[in-house]
Amino acid sequence: MKDWTRRRFFLASLASGLVAGVSRLMGTSEAKAAQGPVEAGVVSQGQRPLMVSSANGLRALDRGMAILQQGGDPLDAVLATVNVVEDDPNDTSVGYGGLPNEDGAVELDASVMHGPTRRAGAVASLREIKNPSRVARLVMERTDHVLLVGAGALRFAEAHGFERQNLLTERARTAWLAWKESMSDRDSWGPGLDSPEWRERTAQLLPAGLSDAEREEWLAWIREVVLHPPTGTINCLAVDGRGNLAGTTTTSGLAWKIAGRVGDSPLIGAGLYVDNDVGAAGSTGRGEECIKVNGAHTVVEMMRQGKTPTEACLEALHRVARNYGNDRARLRRFHLLFYALNKDGVHGGASLWGAARGGRPRQYAVHDGTAARLVDCAALLEGAEA
Ligand code: GLY
């Protein structure tokens, strides 16, 4: 029967018997961050110093803010924040532990911009180095270029003393194998059509020693990332007490991507843009859609024309929706968020959809010098992603 492809059978089998809440399904620190303190509907007055990040930066913003409060550089502040997330194996969208490409290789993208010196640096498709944002900074500071990719970026990182390491954790490798096997209607990976025990065969991919609850949690998460390949990412923006700005965006990109695929994060003007006269903006989510509207640059230009950060983010999202003729059915197939901060310390964020799958509101993190908190994003479209 046509519908009974091996892939569908795999997914149906994996789904059976699984009961898990949305945050357990996600298994990312973004989901964990979303459990933190929430302050909805804040209308921010300008305040400096101030930091903004995607929700998965919530727990790390203290580090960046401490640097700003000691009079440090805003680029040091944003990098101190995102390095925590890059080092965290439990954030499967960034750095070490990021979900790999279709070949099982973790490929990382990152960019930095420094407002006071009006410089930028970036790396793309960088393997085996867990902190691509730090390498991006070196591209900015130690070369006459802006973007290095692939093997050249790796050689450059090694020349500056970075050590190669395997970035593929057991959890990410297991999920990748499950994804490979889910494609089995087109190749020979995974048990044959005659196998009676699809779910059990997937469970056999898991490492020994997990408790029953852990096994169920792994299986639920694997099902989620196989069905809905994530585009996690962290973006972080900062303004210091004098109005100087900096930003960075770092990611492992779209899970199961074609080797060499580059998203918006390392592209100056797409996943990140900083203009020290105006403000800073960044993006997480479906990179291809951000690239097509040159998202972060658009947001900064809208702020230059007088829009608030939130209005500017919504304008960029409006252009994304326009690319699909505002067809909600097609737009529901991805998510995209913009974050913005102006020179006065007014912040904003907007999401294509108000809620993620399952109804969890889309949020971003803010640190105003007292504490980090989550704020609901404005939404271009009501409802949740599919
Ligand atoms: N926004 C991250 C990516 O699409 O790669």
Domain residue extents for the chain = 1-37, 38-166+229-384, 170-227
Euclidean distance between CA atoms 87 and 255, whole angstroms: 18
Distance 283 CA to ligand 1 centre (A): 8
According to DSSP, residue 267 is labeled: S
State the closest ligand 1 atom to the C-alpha of 261, by its place in the atom list counted from 1: 5
3-state helix, strand, coil in the chain (%, to 5): 35, 20, 40
State the closest ligand 1 atom to the C-alpha of 109, by its place in the atom list counted from 1: 5
Active site residue 233: yes
State the closest ligand 1 atom to the C-alpha of 290, by its place in the atom list counted from 1: 1
Q: Which of 383, 373, 371, 301 lies closest to 338 in space, CA to CA?
A: 301
3-state secondary structure of 56: helix
User: Could you tell me if 339 and 362 are in contact, meaning their C-beta atoms sit under 8 angstroms apart?
Assistant: no
Instruction: Show the DSSP H helices in the chain as ranges.
Output: 6-15, 22-26, 29-33, 61-69, 74-87, 132-142, 150-159, 170-182, 198-203, 212-227, 287-292, 295-304, 309-323, 328-331
Does the beta carbon of 125 lie inside 6 Å of ligand 1?
no
Does the beta carbon of 28 lie inside 6 Å of ligand 1?
no
Euclidean distance between CA atoms 189 and 182, whole angstroms: 8
Does the beta carbon of 252 lie inside 6 Å of ligand 1?
no
Which residue(s) pair with 236 in the sheet? Answer: 53, 248
- Out of 92, 108, 290, 292, mutate this one to test ligand 1's pocket (max ligand atoms within 8 Å of CB): namely 290
Euclidean distance between CA atoms 204 and 190, whole angstroms: 12
Does the beta carbon of 265 lie inside 6 Å of ligand 1?
yes
Return the pLDDT at 208: 86
Does the beta carbon of 244 lie inside 6 Å of ligand 1?
no
Euclidean distance between CA atoms 253 and 331, whole angstroms: 19
Q: What angle do CA 343, 134, 363 make, to 5 degrees?
A: 50
**Per-block mean pLDDT, blocks of 10 residues, the chain (386 long):** 41 41 33 38 72 98 98 98 97 95 97 98 98 98 98 98 97 92 74 63 82 88 83 93 98 96 98 98 97 98 98 98 96 96 97 91 97 97 88
Q: What angle do CA 266, 271, 276 make, to 5 degrees?
A: 100
- Out of 101, 236, 251, mutate this one to test ligand 1's pocket (max ligand atoms within 8 Å of CB): namely 251
Structural tokens at position 288: 């291809």
Structural tokens at position 181: 């096997």
Does the beta carbon of 254 lie inside 6 Å of ligand 1?
yes
User: What is the residue type of 223?
Assistant: R
Query: In this structure, which residue's CA is closest to atom 5 in ligand 1?
Result: 253
Does the beta carbon of 233 lie inside 6 Å of ligand 1?
yes
User: Could you tell me if 362 and 354 are in contact, meaning their C-beta atoms sit under 8 angstroms apart?
Assistant: yes
3-state secondary structure of 340: strand
- Out of 286, 335, 336, mutate this one to test ligand 1's pocket (max ligand atoms within 8 Å of CB): namely 286
Distance 253 CA to ligand 1 centre (A): 4
Active-site residue among 81, 233, 250, 251? 233
Euclidean distance between CA atoms 204 and 261, whole angstroms: 30
Query: In this structure, which residue's CA is closest to atom 4 in ligand 1?
Result: 287
Which residue(s) pair with 351 in the sheet? Answer: 337, 379
Which residue(s) pair with 284 in the sheet? Answer: 337
State the closest ligand 1 atom to the C-alpha of 288, by its place in the atom list counted from 1: 4
**Architecture of the 38-166+229-384 domain:** 4-Layer Sandwich (3.60)
Distance 251 CA to ligand 1 centre (A): 7
State the closest ligand 1 atom to the C-alpha of 287, by its place in the atom list counted from 1: 4
Which residue(s) pair with 50 in the sheet? Answer: 239
